Amino acid sequence: MLLSWTGWANRAVVVFTTNIHLTVVIATIAVNRFADEMMSRLGRRESNVTTAEAKPPTLQERVATRLADLTATERKVAEYLSAHPQEAAFSSAEELGRATGTSDASVVRTAKALGYDGLPGLKRSLQGHLQTLLTPASRLSASLESLGEGPESVLRATLRDHIEHLTMAEQLIDPDEFRRAAELIDAARETVICGFAGLDGVSEYIATHLTRIGHRARVATDTGYRLADRILLLGREDVVIVMAHNRLNREARTILDHCTEAGVPVILLTDTLGEALRDEVEVVLSTRMSRPGTFTSQAMVLIILEALTIAVAAHDRDRALSNTVRMNQLREQLNGYPLADETVLGLPRTAAPRSKPKRRSS
């Protein structure tokens, strides 16, 4: 089990500062991956008589037309997909199999029986349809409706969601893949972390902590021409971590292509792109990051990357400890006093404390 292995890692005596703030951030759910090409393949059929383009049948129309020809298991899956298009658009075959009480193979067979080229084709079609529906405003509305009213309800619902996602991650993340990712980082000359669309802060945070335990790490989160400078000298001795949710932006696509050409191993952290990019990366760590149709949370990304960092530290405990001790020594030199004194020392007040306003009696 993943958590049992990382639990072993946590027992390593490592001075490791983790100031985690689990926040739900707005990250645009991008579902327009190759939209023009997909519309050309799936949504446009030329007539032999006219040049008019026919609109492709919806998932619900396909289910209604083929329902009588499906097996009992396929019918069960098809009815679920028809009733839950958002979940179908952003869930893996394994997740859909669990939701329908069937299997991932049954989900794939059902997608083909409905006339798609498999589950990826079905998901692309649904994502194209949902693109106009899943605007930032609609995601905010969906999030607010699911979280309830009042700050207390929002807190409880958010925590429950993260607990559910953590439980799901334990089931979905392959322990062998996780171990391989930790080994790649541990052996790398340098780890380069690439996160875009709100993930630059997470990237910096993990790079800092990898450095503190003695592993060279930096980020490559620039966009445009400046990214070329960050990835130009990557080599086979390095490792790259790419974070991508529902699509690859131009920068991430360029990084993967460059790493393939240069022979650089890539660790992909994603929720829906694992199957599509499996042949282009060394390791896939795939799990659901947030509920389909709602805000994209980065909490799971942070937790998984922190687990990786702790696992790397546990693999070479002496190295992690010696570098952490040296870091503390440097901090003491910069502070001018031992870190142990920080609990009794404080900066002098520059102004008198402000008194709290008295409440008016009603």
Reported as a pLDDT band with limits 50, 70 and 90, residue 138 is: low
- Averaged pLDDT, 56-75: 84
Residues 306 and 243 reside in one and the same domain? yes
Any domain includes 193: yes
Any domain includes 64: yes
Per-residue pLDDT, 153: 82
Number of domains in the chain: 2
Closest alpha carbon to 243 in 191, 180, 286? 286
Sequence-separated (6 or more) residues with CB below 8 Å from residue 187: none
- Reading the block at residue 268, the tokens are 């992909």
Residues 259 and 167 reside in one and the same domain? yes
Per-residue DSSP letter, 286: E
Any domain includes 174: yes
The domain of 41 spans 35-134
Per-residue pLDDT, 297: 76
Last residue of a domain, one of 300, 321, 342: 321
Any domain includes 252: yes
For CA atoms 245, 247, 253, 257, give the dihedral sign. positive
Reported as a pLDDT band with limits 50, 70 and 90, residue 30 is: very low
Any domain includes 144: no
Residues 127 and 189 reside in one and the same domain? no
Residues 311 and 188 reside in one and the same domain? yes
Any domain includes 18: no
Conformational region of residue 214, where left means phi above 0, alpha means psi within -120 to 50, and beta covers everything else: left
- Averaged pLDDT, 55-84: 84
Any domain includes 58: yes
- Reading the block at residue 155, the tokens are 């807190």
Sequence-separated (6 or more) residues with CB below 8 Å from residue 354: none
At residue 219, φ and ψ (nearest 5 deg) are -110, 155
Conformational region of residue 336, where left means phi above 0, alpha means psi within -120 to 50, and beta covers everything else: left
CATH number of residue 76's parent domain: 1.10.10.10
Residues 311 and 215 reside in one and the same domain? yes
Residues 189 and 129 reside in one and the same domain? no
Closest alpha carbon to 275 in 144, 44, 120? 120
CATH number of residue 313's parent domain: 3.40.50.10490
Closest alpha carbon to 242 in 225, 229, 226, 258? 258
Q: Of all residues in the chain, what percent carry a pLDDT higher than 70?
A: 70
- Averaged pLDDT, 22-35: 33
Per-residue pLDDT, 103: 93
d(CA 108, CA 341): 61
Query: Which position has the token pair 């240069």?
Result: 262
Residues 52 and 199 reside in one and the same domain? no
d(CA 298, CA 289): 7
- Read off the pLDDT of residues 92-108 as tens digits, 9 standing for 90 and up: 899 899 989 999 999 99
Residues 167 and 294 reside in one and the same domain? yes
Any domain includes 269: yes
- Read off the pLDDT of residues 207-263 as tens digits, 9 standing for 90 and up: 999 999 999 999 999 988 999 999 999 999 999 999 987 678 899 999 999 999 999
Residues 186 and 236 reside in one and the same domain? yes
Per-residue pLDDT, 16: 39
Per-residue pLDDT, 167: 85
Q: How distant, in Å, are the alpha carbons of 55, 325, 331 from that of 335?
A: 68, 15, 6
Residues 299 and 188 reside in one and the same domain? yes
Residues 180 and 306 reside in one and the same domain? yes
Residues 120 and 173 reside in one and the same domain? no
Whether the predicted pLDDT of 305 surpasses 90: yes
